[in-house]
Chain A
Amino acid sequence: MGGDKIKKDRRQKREDYRAAMRQEGISELPRKKFYRQRAHANPFSDHQLIYPPHPDQMDWSSLYPDYVIDEPHHQESPPSSEVPPDNSELAPLKPKRISKDVEVADIGCGFGGLLVALAPTMPDKLILGLEIRVSVTQFVEDRIKALRAQNQDARLYRNVGVLRANTMKFLPNFFRKGQLTKVFICFPDPHFKARKHKQRIVSTTLNSEYAYVLRPGGIVYTITDVLDLHEWIVQHFDAHPSFERIGEEEQEADPCVGIMRTETEEGKKVERHKGQKYVALYRRLEDPAW
C-alpha cells in the first residue's frame, strides 16, 4: 500500500514537472529523470500511434514553425502531389506547407543528443528524430523547445524536430521516395536472443525501406558498442544490393561520424566505460536498370 502511494506521488511529480515544461517560454532544459520509461517498446504491437496515411498529409508546420510558407490563397499543388488537383474529396487534409523537406532522420533517437549536436552543423537542413517511446519523445521535444528559447537571437535549433513513431512500420508514411540524404541508426537495441532478431531495426527486408526513403548517394550511418550487432548490421547491409559500404578514409573524414561517436547519449556512456564503438557507413546506390 505504502509503496503504491510513493509510486503515485512520484508519478504525480513527474506529470507536474512535464506539464510545467510544456508551458510556453520555458527555457530551462528538461531533466531526464522525469522522463524515464521502460527500456523496450514492442515494435510489433499497435500502440496508439499517430501518423499520416500519406506523406503529403503530414503536417510539419508545428515541428518546424520557422519554415512555414504563408499561403494567402490556396496555391497550386506542387507537381509531386499524389492527388489530382480537381478531386478535392480525395485530399481530405491539406496541411500547411513548409519551405523544405526533412532530409536527415535519426531512427530511434533516444534522448536526442545526436539531433541537438547535428542541428547547428547543418543549419540549412531539416533534421528529424524518430522515437517509439512516448516520454522519451516528450523529453526531446522539451529539450528542443528549451534550446530554441535559449538561442532565440542566434535562431538556432529551428531546423530540428522529433516525432513519436514506430520506424519499423511507418517510415513510408512520413517520407516520400528518395526524400532523405542521411539516416542515422545509433546504438540500436541489440536484441541478443535469436528469437528476437526479427525485432532488430536492421534486417534485409527493412533495409529495402531505408533504401526507399534515401535518395541515391544518400548515406546510412550506423554505430554500436555490441560487436555481434555490428557484424549483423554489416552482414545485412553488405548483402543488400542497394547499398555499398563506405571506406574507412571517407568514413573518418565525415564530420557526422565524430558527432555520432561522441554526442549520442549511448556513445557517451560507452565512452565513460572506455568501451569499443563500431561504425559502419553505407551509401545508397542507384537502382539497377529495369
Chain B
Amino acid sequence: MILPFHLVKVCGDIVFAAQGCDIHSFSSSLRHISTWKYPALKADESNGASKETQDSPAPEEPPAKRRRVEPGAGSETVTNGEEAASENGRPKSKKAAQYDVPANERPFVQGLYATTDGRHLIAITGSDKTIWVFEHDGAGNLKQLSQRAMPKRPCSLTLTRDNRTILSADKFGDVYALPLLPSTTATPSSAPATQPPSRSSTPSTPASAPFKPQATELTVHTKRNLKALENQKISLDRKARQEQASQRPQFEHTLLLGHVSMLTAICVGTAPARTTSGDAAAGQEREQEGSPKVREYIITADRDEHIRVSRSMPQAHVIEGFCLGHEDFVSRLCVAPGGREELLISGGGDDYLFVWDWVRGQLLGKAGVLEHVKGVAGEEGATKVAVTRVFPCRWEGGVGVFVVVERVPALFRYELLKDNTLQHRETIPIPGNPLDVDALGTSGISPRLLVAAYPSTSSEGSSSPSLIALDKEEAGWRQTPVEDLSAGGGYNIGEIELQKILYSTESLRKLSDFD
C-alpha cells in the first residue's frame, strides 16, 4: 500500500515530510523538491554490491530479485543482520521473509526536528535507534552530516536554546546530550563524561571495563546472594562476549539525567535567573557579556505520569521540581510561545490538557479534550483519549494550540488566554486521522497549517490526501491537498502493522487502567 506522510516539519520556508523511512521536501507552495532515502534501502534499490547488500541476509539470492526488496526487509540488513541470517538458514519463501520483519523493526522516521535557523534538520529512525543530522541548504536539499546510533531507542528530542546540543530522551528513561555537530577532532572515547563542568554525567561504571566478579564466597553471605554469585560466574563468559558486541557508542554523548520509566517527551524552557544569596558564586561562573540573565531548564515527561523540571547543563543533575497531577501517561509537552514561556501545556492519556506554571510546579488549569472528541466520535464512540500532538503557534494575535488525538479525524484548536486558561475554540474536521501538524509562517494574521494524516478510504475506494495544507479564510478553512507522491511507492506492509507503528500512543496506557 502507499504509505501516508506521518511527520511534517517546517524548516524556514521549506516543508519536510516523512513517509515511511524517507524524508521529502516541498517548497512553501508545496511543490516537491527532493527526497532523502534511508541509505540501506537506497543500496538495495540501486542493486549495487554495496557493503549493506553484501551483509544482507540472503547472499545466495540473485540480485535481480533483491531489487524489489521492500524497505522493511532492507532494514533487516542494517539492524538485525544476525537474526535475519539465522532465519534465512531455513528455506523460506521470499515473500514470507519480507513479512517477517516485525513492524517495530522497520527504520521508520520517528521524529523530525529543526534548528531555529532552519539550517539543520534532525531525524530519529526507530528500529535502529539512530539520530541523523542533516545540513539544509535552505532550499529543500539535505546533506547528511552524521548518523549516531544511541544505546536505547530515542523517543523524543529537543535542542538546547543555543541550537548546539541535541537532548535525546530514550525508552529506558535516560536523557543524553550530543553535540549537534560532532567535533571532528574528538577522538572517540568510551567514557562519556569528558567535560569537567558536567559532573552529572555517568561516572565510568564497571560496565565499561571487563566485568570481574568482585564478591567472593567470603564476602557474600546470604543464601540469596550466594546463589546470585554462582549465576554470575556461570554467565560471565557469555556476558563478556555480549558486552563486546554491544559496545558503548563511539561518539561524544553525556548522560544528563534519567527516570526509571519510559520517557515520552522532552522540551526546554527558560526562566529569568534567580537572584539568590549565592550571587557571588554566580558571578564566578562566567556570565556572558551582555547576555540576558536567563536560565535554561530541561523538562521531561514519562509514561508514569511525571513531568520533571531539571536545570540544564552543566547542572542537569539538579531536579528543580515536578509538575504532578496527571493520572495517566503524559505523551506531549510544549512551552507556550509568544512571551509566555513560563507556561507549559501537557497532554497524554488523561481526558484533559494541563496548563502549568512549570517553574513553580503549579497546576494552573485544565482544558477538556474528551468532551470535544465526543463531539466528533459520538458519546459512545469515545471513552478515552490519547493526545499525540500539542502544537502551539501565534494565532490571530494570540497563542493558538492545535491538538491531535490518536485515531480522531479532526484538529482541535484551543486558545491560550491572557489569564492562562486554555479555551477550546473550534474543532476542524480533517478527511483522515491527523498524525502531525506544523505551521508555515506567512505574512497573514494566522499561519498556514500543514497536516499529515492517515487517509480514510471512501466507499468508492478512493483515499483522502495524506498531506494537507489548511488556510483559515473568512468563509472557513480551505484545504489544499499536497501533490501525491506515488514515487514513495508501494510498500509491503499490512494495514494493521502500519497502524501499530503510526498509532502507538494509546499503547502507553497501563493495562490496569482498563478495568
Contact = CB atoms under 8 A, between A and B. Distances in A.
Q: Do A and B come from one complex?
A: yes
Contacts of A225: 219-222, 225
A241 interface: yes
A22 to B, nearest CB: 24
Interface stretch (A60-68, A98-106, A204-212, A250-258): A204-212
Interface stretch (A27-35, A133-141, A147-155, A226-234): A226-234
B318 A48 contact: no
Contacts of B321: 177
Contact of A235 (B205, B258, B308, B365): B205
Contact of B215 (A54, A192, A270): A192
Given A83-B362, A205-B174, A290-B282, A227 B255 contact: no
B459 interface: no
Contacts of B260: 43-44, 168-169, 205-206
Contacts of B145: none
B363 A90 contact: yes
A192 B229 contact: yes
B317 A240 contact: yes
29 contacts: A44-B260, A89-B366, A90-B363, A169-B261, A192-B231, A192-B232, A193-B232, A194-B206, A194-B207, A194-B243, A204-B202, A204-B203, A205-B258, A208-B310, A225-B225, A226-B220, A227-B214, A228-B206, A228-B215, A229-B215, A235-B203, A240-B200, A241-B199, A242-B317, A270-B221, A287-B318, A289-B281, A290-B278, A290-B311
Given A225-B222, A240-B317, A269-B222, A193 B257 contact: no
A238 B243 CA distance: 25
Nearest to B354: A90
A197 B215 contact: no
Interface in B215-259: 215, 218-222, 224-225, 228-229, 231-232, 235, 239, 242-243, 255, 257-259
Contacts of B315: 241, 287-288, 290
When A and B form their complex, which 9 residue pairs have the shortest distance between CB atoms, in order from nearest? Answer: A205-B258, A289-B278, A239-B203, A228-B214, A273-B221, A275-B221, A289-B281, A192-B232, A54-B324
A87 interface: yes
A197 B206 CA distance: 9
- The interface size bin for chain A is 35 or more
Interface string B270-286: 00011010111110010
Contact of B322 (A44, A172, A211): A172
A198 interface: yes
Interface centre among B259, B281, B308 (most CB of A within 10 A): B259
A12 interface: no
A46 interface: yes
Interface in B284-342: 285, 295, 304-306, 308, 310-311, 315, 317-319, 321-322, 324-327
B510 interface: yes
Given A53-B325, A240-B317, A226 B362 contact: no
A266 interface: yes
Contacts of A242: 317-318
Interface in A151-183: 168-170, 172-173, 177
B207 A197 contact: yes
Nearest to B283: A289
Contacts of A173: 324
A120 interface: no
A90 B324 CA distance: 12
B511 interface: yes
B443 interface: no
A205 B257 contact: yes
B172 interface: yes
Given A227-B215, A289-B276, A172 B222 contact: no
B512 A48 contact: yes
A207 B200 CA distance: 10
Given A190-B228, A287-B318, A82 B221 contact: no
Interface in B155-206: 172-174, 199-203, 205-206
Interface in A56-74: none
Nearest to B324: A54
Contacts of B219: 225-227, 275-276
B481 to A, nearest CB: 42
Interface of B: 172-174, 199-203, 205-207, 211, 213-215, 218-222, 224-225, 228-229, 231-232, 235, 239, 242-243, 255, 257-261, 273-274, 276, 278-282, 285, 295, 304-306, 308, 310-311, 315, 317-319, 321-322, 324-327, 361-366, 510-512
A190 B203 CA distance: 19
A46 B511 contact: yes
B213 A192 contact: yes
Given A53-B325, A240-B317, A273-B222, 8 more contacts: A53-B324, A82-B361, A177-B319, A190-B215, A192-B215, A193-B231, A204-B317, A239-B199
A1 interface: no
Interface centre among B224, B273, B324 (most CB of A within 10 A): B324
B38 to A, nearest CB: 30
Contacts of A48: 512
A208 B229 CA distance: 29
A54 B324 CA distance: 5
Contacts of A44: 260
Given A54-B324, A193-B232, A206-B260, A87 B365 contact: yes
Contacts of B228: 190, 192
Interface in A182-226: 190, 192-195, 197-198, 203-209, 211-212, 225-226
A39 interface: yes
A87 B357 CA distance: 15
A43 B304 CA distance: 12
Contact of B281 (A169, A240, A288): A288
Contact of B214 (A231, A269, A287): A231
